[in-house]
Amino acid sequence: MDGLLLQEAAQDAAHAEEWGTDVMIHHIVDADVLDLGFFSVDLSPLSVAPIHIGGLEIDVSITKHVVFLFIAAVLTVVTMWLAARAAHRLEQGEKAPGGLLNAMEAFYLFLRDDVAMANIGSGGERFVPLVITLFFFILFANLLGLVPFGATATSNIMVTAGLAVIAFIVIETAGYRALGAKGYLRTIFYVPPGLNPWMGAVMLLIMTPVELIGKLAKPFALAVRLFANMTAGHFVLLALLGLIITYGSFTTASGIVAVLGPLLLGLFVMFLEIFIAFLQAFIFAMLTAVFIGLIRHAH
């Protein structure tokens, strides 16, 4: 009897191991199927043939992450629009400020005054919408991953890279516009004043690659930070829940422990994930503002 149980358990364990990486990867990566628990939506009819530009193959098919990114975009617009409508009504004296408007205003004011304006400085008004939109767009994309059957579009490196590229373009353009062509080039080719020509040349030779790497490292860090945070959280959560499958069927006692332990830990990690969803959205928006402010006041 015992032998049989053990054998089964061993089989289950082997199965679970298979399950582990497969399910985890499956959960994280993009797919052309929306897994909604009881049923799934096949997105492959919406896929289009990849476009070839030079050696580059671009597949603009609608995938799971595109759908959830779209939902995040819609949620961002709808939430802000509801707040705006409340603000409009308030302006016309129809209605006292209520819950959603208060919450959104708190976010709006914090992002505008303490994130955008504080880091960019005077003339930062132009970047306020970008910072706020970045925050809410990323926030909703992050939070959608915590919803049952949801997917985290921000745990896809190409999504975070896309956002980082936008941030990069805005940062560099802001620098160019604030410093002028000469000033902007000095952020790449910089010779400290008062250096003799020889040393200047040496400095230029050493510092130019450093400056260039510095420029590119910023968006790279933005992309990887968000991607890694969102991916890692899900891995931790899935690994914890995977423990249930791995150890849950050994004996009844171990089963109870294996179910309760990972569930409680998972709950804790879930709360942590909610916090991280806000934190990472905030960090992305904040760092974009910081970088804009840095380049506008370079040297």
Partner 1 sequence: MTTWLTAAAVLAASPAPLGATARVAGQGAGGAIFSLNIGLLLWTWVLFLLTLGILVWKVFPLIAGGLEERQRKIQEAIDSARQDREEGRRLVEEQTRELARARQEAQRTLEETRQAVGRLREELIAEAEAEKADILERARREMERERERVLDELRVEAVEISLAAAERLIRARLDTDENRRLVREYIGSIGG
User: Nearest distance from residue 291's CB to partner 1, in Å?
Assistant: 17
Cα–Cα distance measured from residue 103 to residue 263, given in angstroms and rounded to the nearest whole number: 31
**Of these, 10, 57, 102, 254, which contacts partner 1 (CB under 8 A)?**
57
Cα–Cα distance measured from residue 7 to residue 13, given in angstroms and rounded to the nearest whole number: 10
77 contacts partner 1 (rule: CB under 8 A): yes
15 contacts partner 1 (rule: CB under 8 A): no
User: Nearest distance from residue 212's CB to partner 1, in Å?
Assistant: 22
129 contacts partner 1 (rule: CB under 8 A): yes
Place of tokens 């968006």: 219
**Of these, 5, 7, 10, 88, which contacts partner 1 (CB under 8 A)?**
88
**Of these, 9, 13, 34, 87, which contacts partner 1 (CB under 8 A)?**
87
236 contacts partner 1 (rule: CB under 8 A): no
**Of these, 25, 212, 221, 267, which contacts partner 1 (CB under 8 A)?**
25
Count the residues of the shown chain that bind partner 1, applying the rule CB under 8 A: 64
Contact 113, 168 (CB under 8 A): no
**Of these, 9, 13, 34, 84, which contacts partner 1 (CB under 8 A)?**
84
Q: Which two tokens stand for residue 152?
A: 């985290």
Residue 295 Cα to chain centre, angstroms: 23
Half-sphere CA count of 284, side-chain side, radius 13 A: 37
Cα–Cα distance measured from residue 272 to residue 278, given in angstroms and rounded to the nearest whole number: 10
- The one-letter code for the residue type at 61 is S
Cα–Cα distance measured from residue 6 to residue 253, given in angstroms and rounded to the nearest whole number: 15
Cα–Cα distance measured from residue 298 to residue 27, given in angstroms and rounded to the nearest whole number: 43
Interface contacts to partner 1, rule CB under 8 A: 21-23, 25-26, 28-33, 44, 47, 50, 52, 55-63, 65-66, 69-70, 72-73, 76-77, 80-81, 83-85, 87-88, 90-91, 97, 101, 104-105, 108-109, 128-130, 132-133, 137, 153, 156-159, 161-163, 165-166, 231
